[in-house]
Structure 1
Amino acid sequence: MSKSTIAVIAAVSAGAGAAATAAMYSLRSSDKKIESITTTTTTKTNTLATAASKLPVPASQVFNGTAAATTTNASPVAAATTTTTTSPIAVATLGALVDPSGLFEYGFPGPVSDIAARQALISSFDRRLRNPQWVVEHITPESLAKRDGDRKNSAFREDDAVPDKFRARLKDYARSGYDRGHQVPAADCKWSQTAMDDTFYLTNMCPQVGEGFNRDYWAHFEDFCRRLTQKYPSVRIVTGPLYLPRRDPADDKWYVRYEVIGNPPNVAVPTHFYKVIFAEEEGAGGGASGKVALGAFVLPNAPIPNEKPLTDFEVPVEAVERASGLEFATKLPTQRRKRLCADTPCSLIIKEYADRQKAFAKGGSSPPRNTSR
């Protein structure tokens, strides 16, 4: 494979049409130069290692480096957990003149990520934007075949594991014009009613455009992810929002602009969403040496025509990392990686939303998506 070249291209507004918006991302074949978006961020993320947990980001932080854990009511398999661990902050010796670290006697400012580990998913919640930063799920042929959960028995709910003043609320979505968009789909978690319920926490939600996206193209994309289990015995997926810049034609400058909903307005409406997919071959999990088909996709939060090829939204993993400030595959050696869309066809099977509603009705279940419209 030749070296990938990542280029910044203009992000056009949703008002200019879904086709134009969707066309902002493209990926050529693995033998050609890769062209995609890169978002430069100035925010520095402080990654703190945890001793008692494998969770990559602590949920709260204290200056002295001690660890504490708070467990809330969650599933019997994996409780929603808040873990606190920090590394000591090095303070330069400046004599008796100043001691900035004295502030931490009153508390550590953060940033804080609220981590929830539940049956169906693990999520990291962004208190400032009231959206998840990422949500991780794992699907297998066995998990998708089991039918012990039904979404008609689930209800959207606020996550009381998040402090009240930082929490997204059901009323924030009311009459907003946006769906409460699952990041981990309920349809991936029918193997347990508890797992199904886990997907309805607002910490697994973002405001999504309904018609043409959440109820259509995005739903087809989720179906594509499930169909990967027909070839791969284990599929792990990270999903989350992005807030990408676009060029303003008035002054030719780049701006990050997004709507905020709620009363008071506090829940950010993402401009885009990403999925990073790890399709594991036999023996790939648990640090083994098996191959992993890796794919990353970025879709605009806007109506997308069903005929738009999914490969138009494929991007290098590095592009998602630059845009999100996250890292996804630092421990996956290059020799174990394959490009997902070179290893299997990346194409959607389009089923109209009305047809899916009828299919669910025949099975005695409610339609696949509840909305806040």
Structure 2
Amino acid sequence: MRAGMMSRAYAAGGAGRLAVSGLFFCNGVLVGSWAPKLPVLMQRLGIGEAVAGLLVLALGLGSLVVMPLVGAMVARRGSDAALRLMAVLACLPLLLVTLAPGLWTVAVAVFLFGGMLGGMDVAMNANAVAVERARRRAIMSSCHGFWSLGAMAGAGLGGMLMAGLGETRHGLMVTLLVGLAVAWLLPRLLHDRPSAAERGQKLRLPRSPMPYVIGTVALCCMIPEGAVLDWAAVYLKRELGASLSLAGWGFAACSGTMAVMRFLGDGLRRRLGAVRTLRLSAMAAIAGLGLAGMAGSAGWAIAGFGLAGLGIANMVPIAFSAAGNLPGMARGVGLSVVTMMGYSGMLFAPGSIGFLAEHVSLASIYAGLAVLLLVPLSLSHLVAAADFEARE
């Protein structure tokens, strides 16, 4: 009887894995579609970099406002209920941004866009944790790999579509395609309902320090990712004399190795365990950022960013998986804390690095980020909650 129940749970988890992986991809497509959208908005609205920076800030603030609300919904109603709602809502704001006629309406639409994407992020990470529990196998890293592929597709194809079809048709096409994919995937989600004990818990900020400590791990891992995304090209061009065509390979090397390693990460975690995988990942990221910061040529810096991507790839998925499996805590609450802390690094780090870069070199900043990763390395023993399966 017990074996039959476990078999049914595993089968349901198989369909659930397909569904949640597809939703990670859809979320990535929407996030990636924002990258080519921003310069088009700047031209359409006649705004400069300073105002555009405020729009980027509105995107992040929307995420930070909605994330804890969705975390509470996960704790009360389950991750699949929250994900169904947020996935549907996330399909709409990109089109609102596209159609908004003026700066203030665009700002509101961008805030909603960030909020829906951030809320969907919390819900789909929580559902991925539920699938991991049902299948007794790690899937979080590959889910983030699908997100990376979606982001690359959204950014790469988005610019081509806008150049060929225009901003409005691009918005309509992305909204339609993502909407159809979401409609197909949602019925296949793993049903994940909280236990009576979890529903009975008061929804409040956790008193245990563990979510905040693991959130610090996620924060320290996502700051370097944001630093490479926003500043690698500037570093290569300004400080290492790279051509414009070569400068883009800094982030490309990092994102490419991240995507590959995320698809390999679940297998590594099964063989080595979450703690050892995080330690090895942190050491690779430290070596990569150190190499990038000390490089004497663009080629060595690009190689360093690629090595850093290998390390950064699985650190955040392990932190999220650990947060969703903390004992004695509703998974949505702990996960929302860690997600908020992690993504705040992506939100605030680029601006802070821009300020620092006026006073010190970007080479020194990347070397400093390598030192920052000593924090998650020293705290790696605390992600043992992500180990819930027998190692191969």
TM-score relative to the length of structure 2: 0.24
RCO comparison, higher one (Cα < 8 Å, 6+) = 2
> Which is strand-richer, 1 or 2?
1
TM-score relative to the length of structure 1: 0.25
